[in-house]
């Protein structure tokens, strides 16, 4: 396939996944704290609508969260979103090796801004405001 542009998945909808061993707590967090509409509570997953992208919060018996971002959102105004989430109890991660502002936002060399937080299971989620 070298040299041939293959669009097998380029026009297909993306589905994002994150896991939880505590579905009721995850439902409250993703629906009530993050504000994502709950589309269904199925046997194996909670299904949310993340602005047209399906977010499936898989129900698992046990979970060891990864220590890196698993799901993130591109936002227009990261400070506003961080403040709103902070008012809802979200605590942003602090990393001693990077320079973050009072809200926990790090500015990259190109001017993009990123902040990280965790869901109740410890999954790392992020907000990103890309530079123009």
pLDDT tens digits, one per residue of 58-115? 999 999 999 999 999 999 999 999 999 999 999 999 999 999 999 999 999 999 999 9
Which DSSP state fits 82?
A: H
Can you give the pTM of this predicted structure?
0.91
Residue for token pair 């129900």:
59
Band of pLDDT at residue 8, cut at 50, 70 and 90: confident
As a whole number of angstroms, the distance between CA 115 and CA 113 comes to 7
pLDDT tens digits, one per residue of 19-42? 999 999 999 999 999 999 999 999
**pLDDT of 41:** 98
**Segments making up each domain of the chain, as ranges:** 15-129
Do residues 50 and 38 touch, judged by C-beta distance below 8 A? Answer: no
Please compute, for residue 28, the number of CA atoms within 13 A of its CA located in the half-sphere on the CB side: 8
Q: Which two tokens stand for residue 78?
A: 């990261």
- The beta-strand segments (E) located in 37-112 are 38-41, 45-50, 53-59, 69-74, 106-107
**pLDDT of 122:** 97
Q: Name every residue whose Cβ is closer than 8 Å to that of residue 117 and which is 6 or more positions away in sequence.
A: 85, 90, 91, 92, 93, 104, 124, 125, 126, 127
Band of pLDDT at residue 5, cut at 50, 70 and 90: low
The CATH number of the structural domain formed by 15-129 is 3.10.180.10
Q: For residues 102-129, give the mean pLDDT.
A: 97
* Helix segments in the chain, DSSP class H: 23-27, 78-87
Largest separation between any pair of C-alpha atoms in the chain: 51
């Amino acid at each position: 396939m070298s040299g041939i542009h293959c669009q097998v998945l380029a026009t297909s909808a993306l589905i994002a996944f994150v896991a939880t061993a505590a579905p009721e707590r995850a439902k409250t967090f993703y629906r009530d704290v993050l504000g994502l509409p709950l589309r269904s509570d199925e046997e194996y997953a909670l299904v949310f609508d993340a602005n047209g992208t399906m977010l499936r919060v898989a129900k698992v018996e046990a979970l060891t969260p990864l220590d890196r971002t698993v799901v993130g959102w591109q936002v227009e105004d990261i400070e506003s979103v961080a403040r709103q989430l902070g008012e809802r109890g979200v605590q942003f991660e602090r990393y001693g090796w990077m320079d973050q502002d009072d809200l926990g936002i790090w500015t990259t060399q190109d001017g993009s801004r990123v902040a990280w937080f965790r869901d109740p299971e410890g999954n790392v989620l992020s907000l990103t405001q890309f530079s123009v």
